[in-house]
Amino acid sequence: MKKKAKIAALSAAGLLAAGNAVKAAMYKPKKAECPALPDENVNLDRYVVTICEAIRCKTVSNTDESLVEWDEFEKLHKLFKKKYPLLHKTLKMRKVGKAGLIYVWQGTDPSLKPIALIGHQDVVPVPEEMLGDWTHPPFEGEIADGYIWGRGAIDMKNHLVGVLESIETLLEEGFVPKRTVIVCLGYNEELVDTELASAPMLSKALEDDGIKLESVLDEGGAILELDVPHVIKNKVAGVGIAEKGYCDFEISVDAVGGHSSTPPKHSAVGELSKAILDLENHQFRAKVTKEMKMIIDTIARNTTYPVKLIGCNLATVLPAFTPALAKIPPVASVMRTTTAVTMTHGSPQANVMPQKATATVNFRILPGNTIEDVEKHIRRVIRNKKVNIKLLGGNDPSVVSPIDTPTMDAISKICSGLYDMSAPAPFVVMGATDARHYQNLTDQIYRFSPFVMPPEILMLAHGTDERISVDCLENGILFFKRYIRMMAGE
Ligand SMILES: [Zn+2]
């Protein structure tokens, strides 16, 4: 390279680096302006004790309803009545299905659409063989080392008791909502794909009353406390604005069967395994979605300076790394409709050729795809005409809720006020929640539990030693109270 050209190239690189440094310096967390909010009363002792007592109610859901201990749900309802007398005096309560509850807090202005705060009372079981692994028994609701321990501590007795606790306190202060506030509590959210699901019953009951909702707030997101030395030490809130769909397909091959001493070249299992490989080798296309960019941008803005140099360009350059990212399973699950072959079945005995070989394939569908797209994909990928393809069941992804709404604005402002943190990042929830069953009543559905959790605690949902830090509870109540004031107040 000639000297002049070299100098030009070096100065261009220098300018670029300087430009990048300026960009990184300007790359700050986006904050929502929070209006001055009144101090709130919080009866933390009552809240903590009620969560502990709620954990002692073994409200475990089961696909076989005859095996559900319904008296435990009764016990939980009695607990609510005992702890929250004003709520039960003021709000209209009714039971739906086996143990569903709808509370209606009538607002003074009937022209305003109600807001709904929803949740589930049920918890997942603790397998007998895992009981010994718990530091504190899962259904005792013990407080130790600054935590409330037990099944449901973070999923989601903390949240639903928090909603009721907040309403009771608002009532004690004489708050009268302008907009009606509805609380819906289901009883079998933890079951996958059950016809007896309580959430559709609850939303249908509201629909039958001619109710349309302003918005729904459910679990699904949280305030993550990220602490990676030299990279990030900040809180980032994620609000689920959509959830992936779910479907199961059975793929099968029929054959003549017979004695294994005279096998054909390919058995039904052999034919089927080729089809399974075809599916695994031809995944849905991965992409960096809008929601993925938004959450990466929010996290990157909260990183420390040298990391920001990369962070400020990350959302833009990320699509170029799509193939590499798609090789990391947890990341890929955010980027595509996933294919998981989960169950196979062949011959019932070692010396018998299978007359039928089957595989169950589970797909988690990204918003933008549908069950119909999944079926087309399977038929395109599996060329073997001997393979039968049957849909076993499932549901399409939820609608994607808009982010420019008063509800999202309220969540954002309250979080900024409570934690001096950046505006929450919208994201797509990987699992299923009850929220999608309320799409008949509104398209503004947000999945967010206002509790600060380090990732390692969040990972304990459904696991051993599920627990919640007592420290994060007060701000949970402050959030709910302010949310109701902001959305339903004057
Ligand atoms: Zn849950």
| Per-residue confidence band for 92, with pLDDT thresholds at 50, 70 and 90 | very high
323 C-alpha to ligand 1 centroid (Å) = 32
119 C-alpha to ligand 1 centroid (Å) = 8
- pLDDT tens for 415-470 read 988 987 888 889 999 888 999 999 999 999 999 999 999 989 999 999 999 999 99
pLDDT at position 222: 93
219 C-alpha to ligand 1 centroid (Å) = 6
Q: Which residues are annotated as catalytic?
A: 122, 189
Lowest mean pLDDT among 200-204, 317-321, 397-401: 317-321
- pLDDT tens for 235-280 read 888 999 999 999 999 999 999 989 999 999 999 999 999 999 999 9
DSSP 47: H
464 C-alpha to ligand 1 centroid (Å) = 15
Q: Are 335 and 323 in contact (CB under 8 A)?
A: no
189 C-alpha to ligand 1 centroid (Å) = 7
pLDDT at 199 over 90: yes
Q: 446 — phi, psi (to 5°)?
A: -125, 135
pLDDT at position 115: 98
Buried b (16+ CB within 10 A) or exposed e, 382-402: beeeebeeeeeebbbbbbbbe
51 C-alpha to ligand 1 centroid (Å) = 15
Q: Are 401 and 445 in contact (CB under 8 A)?
A: yes
pLDDT at 16 over 80: no
How many Cα atoms are found within 13 Å in the side-chain-facing hemisphere of 234? 21
427 C-alpha to ligand 1 centroid (Å) = 17
Q: What angle do CA 417, 474, 454 make, to 5 degrees?
A: 80
pLDDT at position 140: 98
pLDDT at 309 over 80: no
DSSP 132: G
Helix (H) or strand (E) segment spanning residue 182: strand 181-186
Amino acid in position 113: K
146 C-alpha to ligand 1 centroid (Å) = 23
DSSP 420: -
Domains and CATH numbers, the chain: 44-227+398-488 (3.40.630.10), 244-395 (3.30.70.360)
pLDDT at 80 over 80: yes
| Pairing mode, strands 143-144 and 356-365 | unpaired
Name residue, tokens 């993925």: 292
C-alpha torsion sign, points 19, 25, 26, 29:
positive
State how far the Cα of 427 lies from the Cα of 334, in Å rounded to an integer.
Answer: 9
Residue (of 458, 431, 456, 463) closest to 158 by Cα position? 458
- pLDDT tens for 121-167 read 999 999 999 999 999 999 999 999 999 999 999 999 999 999 999 99
Residue (of 151, 160, 156, 158) closest to 125 by Cα position? 151
State how far the Cα of 304 lies from the Cα of 24, in Å rounded to an integer.
Answer: 10
Name residue, tokens 């798609």: 326
State how far the Cα of 236 lies from the Cα of 415, in Å rounded to an integer.
Answer: 10
Q: Are 467 and 278 in contact (CB under 8 A)?
A: no
179 C-alpha to ligand 1 centroid (Å) = 27
pLDDT at 19 over 80: no
State how far the Cα of 28 lies from the Cα of 40, in Å rounded to an integer.
Answer: 30
Lowest mean pLDDT among 174-178, 185-189, 314-318, 392-396: 314-318
